[in-house]
A and B are shown apart, each in its own frame.
Chain A
Amino acid sequence: MGDSLSSLSFILLYGTSYGLILFIIAIGLVITMGLMRVMNLAHGAFAAIGGYLAVGLMAEAGLSFVPAVLLAVIAVVLLSVVLERLVFSSLYGANELDQVLMTIGVNFIVIGLITIVFGPNVYPVQLPEALRGSVDLGIRDFEIYRLFVIAVGLVVVLGLWMLFDRTSFGAKLRAAVDNPSMTGVIGINVSGIFVVAFGLGSGLAALGGAIGAAMLPLEPYYPMKYLVLVLVVVALSGFGNMKASLAVAVLVGIADTAGRFLVPDFGGFVIYIVLVVLMVVRPQGLFARRTG
Chain B
Amino acid sequence: MASGISRLAAIAAAGAMALAAATAVAEDSVKVGVVGPMTGPLAVMGKQWRQGIEAYMAAHGDTVNGHKIEVIYRDTTANPSMARQLTQDLVVRDGVQALIGYGISPSAAAAAPVINQAKIPAFLPHAASPGLMAASPYFARMGQNIATNAEVAADWALKKGVKTAYIAVADYAPGHDVAKAFQPAFEAGGGKVVGQDNIPLSTVDFSPFAERIATADPDMVQMFIPPGAQAVSMVKALAARGVMADTLVIGQGEAEDSDIHLFDGTIDNFHTVIYYSQSLDNPENKTFLDSLKATAGADVLPSSFTLGAYDAMGLIYALVADMKGDRIDGPAAMEALAGHSWNSPRGKVTLDMQTREPIQDFVVRQVQQTDAGLRNVVIDTIPQVTPKPTTN
* A-facing residues in B156-203 (Cβ within 8 Å): 171, 197-203
Interface string of B232-248 (1 = CB under 8 A from A): 11001000101000000
A217 touching B232, Cβ below 8 Å = yes
Distance A258 CA – B125 CA, assembled complex (angstroms): 39
Distance A250 CA – B80 CA, assembled complex (angstroms): 38
Distance A239 CA – B205 CA, assembled complex (angstroms): 27
B229 touching A122, Cβ below 8 Å = yes
Q: Does A61 contact B (CB under 8 A)?
A: no
Distance A261 CA – B263 CA, assembled complex (angstroms): 23
With contacts A120-B43, A120-B47, A122-B232 known, is A2 near B262, CB below 8 A? no
Q: Does A267 contact B (CB under 8 A)?
A: yes
CB distance from B33 to the nearest CB of A (A): 22
Q: Does A226 contact B (CB under 8 A)?
A: yes
Chain A residues closer than 8 Å to B212, beta-carbon distance? 1, 261, 264
Interface string of B287-311 (1 = CB under 8 A from A): 0000000000000000000000000
A14 touching B208, Cβ below 8 Å = yes
A257 touching B207, Cβ below 8 Å = yes
Q: Does B15 contact A (CB under 8 A)?
A: no
Chain A residues closer than 8 Å to B155, beta-carbon distance? none
Q: Does B39 contact A (CB under 8 A)?
A: yes
CB distance from B297 to the nearest CB of A (A): 13
Q: Does B41 contact A (CB under 8 A)?
A: yes
* A-facing residues in B293-331 (Cβ within 8 Å): none
Contact partner, A265, options B198, B228, B259, B261, Cβ 8 Å: B198
B229 touching A261, Cβ below 8 Å = no
Chain A residues closer than 8 Å to B229, beta-carbon distance? 122, 217, 219, 225
Q: Does B1 contact A (CB under 8 A)?
A: no
B259 touching A2, Cβ below 8 Å = no
Q: Does A93 contact B (CB under 8 A)?
A: no
Q: Does B215 contact A (CB under 8 A)?
A: yes
Q: How large is the interface on B (under 10, 10 to 19, 20 to 34, 35 or more residues)?
A: 20 to 34
Distance A135 CA – B215 CA, assembled complex (angstroms): 18
* A-facing residues in B218-275 (Cβ within 8 Å): 228-229, 232-233, 236, 240, 242, 259, 261-264
Q: Which residue of B lies closest to A269 (CB)?
A: B200
Q: Does B204 contact A (CB under 8 A)?
A: yes
B198 touching A215, Cβ below 8 Å = no
Distance A115 CA – B42 CA, assembled complex (angstroms): 12
Q: Does B75 contact A (CB under 8 A)?
A: no
A216 touching B204, Cβ below 8 Å = yes
Contact partner, B264, options A127, A134, A141, A226, Cβ 8 Å: A127
Distance A261 CA – B41 CA, assembled complex (angstroms): 27
Q: Does B209 contact A (CB under 8 A)?
A: yes
A268 touching B200, Cβ below 8 Å = yes
Given A219-B41, A219-B228, A225-B229, 17 additional A-B pairs, CB 8 A:
A14-B211, A18-B204, A121-B228, A121-B259, A122-B232, A122-B262, A124-B261, A125-B264, A214-B236, A257-B208, A260-B199, A260-B200, A260-B205, A261-B209, A261-B211, A268-B201, A268-B202
| 10 A-B contacts (beta carbon < 8 Å) | A10-B211, A124-B261, A126-B264, A214-B264, A219-B41, A260-B205, A264-B212, A265-B171, A265-B197, A268-B202
Chain A interface residues (CB < 8 Å from chain B): 1-2, 6-7, 10-11, 14, 18, 115, 120-122, 124-127, 134, 141, 143, 145, 214-217, 219-221, 225-226, 229, 253, 256-258, 260-261, 264-265, 267-268
